[in-house]
């Protein structure tokens, strides 16, 4: 929430800069746990922003290793894992894998997921009751549903305003929509993807407002030029 509010208050030129755009993508990928996209952005980090991303990288590396253990059952190339997690060499990743009880082959070429599963498997015992093992996804709260509905309604309103042919009406609609965008940006955001879309709508509405005002002025000027000029009577 603080990040989006901060970005919303930036100058439009600064907000459109490649560095800010990259930072927003980094924030979105980190918030959603998308480690693959995060490390892809890490490789293409502008200036010295990769040093800032280092503070977030370890958490996503942990997540990536956990996902690897869950998703694969055979052997996974260690070189590929190094490439995805942007580790410079095997010496950096081996201690982390060892700490997580992940088995690596003797030649350090593969991660042995079969052996890892066997090592991490819990001791055999009586099955636990379903009530204890179930881990249902928490249902969204009423506040979250209302927020997502408001964003969806806003998106539909922006689409209607976009289709308006009259510049004056479009300018007024953009003015109202801009207030709605800013109000929603001040509320708690529950879904990073929806929050990102809200930020995009804000940018679109701002651009729409500027263009509509220009078009409105141009129409007024055109109407003004159409009016016939009164000829001055010559004195006899």
pLDDT tens for residues 196-222? Answer: 877 888 888 888 888 888 887 887 787
Tell me what pLDDT residue 1 has: 47
Tell me what pLDDT residue 236 has: 52
Tell me what pLDDT residue 200 has: 83
Q: Is the pLDDT of residue 123 over 50?
A: no
Q: Is the pLDDT of residue 76 over 70?
A: yes
Give how far Cα 126 sits from Cα of 122, 133, 183, 228, Å: 11, 12, 53, 95
Q: Is the pLDDT of residue 124 over 60?
A: no
Distance CA 1, CA 185 (A): 8
Query: Which tens digits make up the pLDDT trace of 22-37?
Result: 888 888 888 888 888 8
Alpha helices in 76-122 (DSSP H): 78-84, 90-99, 113-120
Mean pLDDT calculated for residue range 45-64: 85
Distance CA 131, CA 147 (A): 31
Show Cβ contacts of residue 30 under 8 Å, excluding neighbours closer than 6 positions: 38, 56, 60
CA-based nearest residue to 58, from 99, 107, 12: 99
Tell me what pLDDT residue 170 has: 79
Q: In this structure, are residues 120 and 69 in contact, taking their beta carbons and an 8 Å threshold? A: yes
Query: Which tens digits make up the pLDDT trace of 153-208?
Result: 777 777 777 777 777 887 888 888 888 888 877 777 667 777 787 788 888 888 88
Tell me what pLDDT residue 190 has: 64
Give how far Cα 22 sits from Cα of 65, 69, 169, 207, Å: 25, 30, 35, 21
Tell me what pLDDT residue 69 has: 80
Mean pLDDT calculated for residue range 82-98: 82
Tell me what pLDDT residue 127 has: 56
Supply 29's token pair. Answer: 């990928």
Mean pLDDT calculated for residue range 129-139: 54
């Amino acid at each position: 929430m603080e990040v989006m509010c901060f970005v919303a208050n930036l100058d439009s030129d600064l907000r459109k800069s490649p560095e800010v755009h990259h930072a927003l993508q980094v924030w979105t990928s980190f918030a959603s746990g998308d480690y693959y996209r995060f490390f892809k952005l890490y490789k293409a980090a502008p200036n010295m922003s990769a040093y800032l991303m280092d503070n977030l990288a370890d958490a996503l590396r942990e997540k990536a290793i956990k996902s690897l253990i869950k998703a694969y059952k055979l052997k996974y190339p260690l070189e590929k894992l190094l490439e995805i997690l942007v580790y410079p060499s095997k010496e950096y990743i081996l201690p982390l894998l060892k700490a997580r009880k992940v088995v690596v082959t003797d030649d350090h070429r593969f991660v042995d997921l079969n052996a890892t599963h066997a090592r991490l498997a819990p001791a055999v015992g009586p099955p636990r009751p379903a009530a204890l093992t179930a881990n249902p996804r928490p249902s969204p709260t009423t506040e979250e549903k209302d927020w997502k509905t408001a964003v969806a309604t806003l998106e539909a309103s922006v689409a209607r305003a976009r289709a308006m042919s009259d510049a004056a009406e479009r300018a007024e609609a953009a003015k109202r929509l801009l207030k709605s965008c800013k109000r929603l940006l001040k509320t708690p955001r529950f879904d990073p993807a929806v929050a990102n879309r809200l930020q995009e709508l804000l940018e679109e509405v701002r651009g729409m407002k500027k263009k509509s005002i220009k078009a409105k002025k141009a129409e007024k000027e055109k109407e003004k030029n159409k009016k016939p000029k009164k000829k001055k009577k010559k004195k006899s």
